[in-house]
Structure 1
């Protein structure tokens, strides 16, 4: 299976704390640009859990997210795709929930860069969801996302706003594509 480097597929990741509109924005951007997107594997995985999440579950989600991403890249028809989260999320959740990140995740993180990260701001109202856990820790997780993206040397920008969030995301992508065409 070809990877993003061989096919020269640019990856634009939509990331951030819980309940910030990541999935909605990712799907809308993919429709807007008529391209493919990678769903958040962990939502499907966690929906099927019957016991509390373990560190092994985090590893399983890591592999599942990579497999899903590689499948979309292999079938991509355009020069870029959108990713609803990344494997960096596994690191953030593992550190928070278990105090450590599996070594396989740490080893692979630098091998799977994204060309642009859109970090969704916490300015949207919290939406209840059985798979969301920390409405009171949004500022904490926003800070963690900034720290992690900076540690990776990532090209990222914060997308905020309620009414104009999508328009700001489109402008960020347009600017990125113009600079990188």
Structure 2
């Protein structure tokens, strides 16, 4: 079976996760798992509430499983993610003051090979859903502490858009040429 490495593009609102994920997917000719909460919010028409936490986690995990299967079928060695359950954990703490232990455990169990944590050094752009433009430092710090607490390997990616793409491709190239990590969800299903 082909070894599938998983890289998550993560961070607070309006840092370019989707843009970078699509650029990297095009560069490597691979798939990028979309952010489930974006589709959920679009269909629901309102921001998530406390009662949505479990459904959001299940939906994100389902997206990931579908894309892992599709990547394997294509023979890819890389799968990108436009966020993952780590974001669900961070935002659960931010919006609701806590996170169910089961959700944190699931995020740890599904941890990717590496996380690209996008810095807040790009302009914040409102889109009708984003609501934390005035709290970017707080949100970035929350992502750092969440990644640290969950034991997720990450690199902070800074700079303008071309710099970010260059940093990300260099990191992914290094990851793809290194020995596999001891655990990867895609290898243990």
CA drift at 1:94:
1.1
Matching residue within 74, 82, 85 for 2:83: 85
Partner of 1:130: 128
1:56-102 CA-to-partner distances (Å, cap 9, x unmatched) read: 21221111110001001011120120000011111111111111213
Instruction: State the aligned residue count.
Output: 176
1:21-69 CA-to-partner distances (Å, cap 9, x unmatched) read: 0000011101100111100111010112244521121221111110001
Which segments of 5 or more consecutive residues in structure 2 lack a partner in the other structure?
181-189
Partner of 1:30: 25
Partner of 1:49: 44
Partner of 1:68: 63
Partner of 2:176: 177
Alignment partners' CA distance in 2, 1:53 and 1:153: 26
Which segments of 5 or more consecutive residues in structure 1 lack a partner in the other structure?
1-5
> Does the CA contact (< 8 Å) of 1:47 and 1:131 recur in 2?
no
Alignment partners' CA distance in 1, 2:135 and 2:7: 26
CA RMSD between the two structures: 1.6
1:84-133 CA-to-partner distances (Å, cap 9, x unmatched) read: 00111111111111112134312312210110100001001011111101
Alignment partners' CA distance in 2, 1:121 and 1:144: 12
Alignment partners' CA distance in 1, 2:179 and 2:150: 20
Partner of 2:110: 112
TM-score, with length taken from structure 1: 0.91
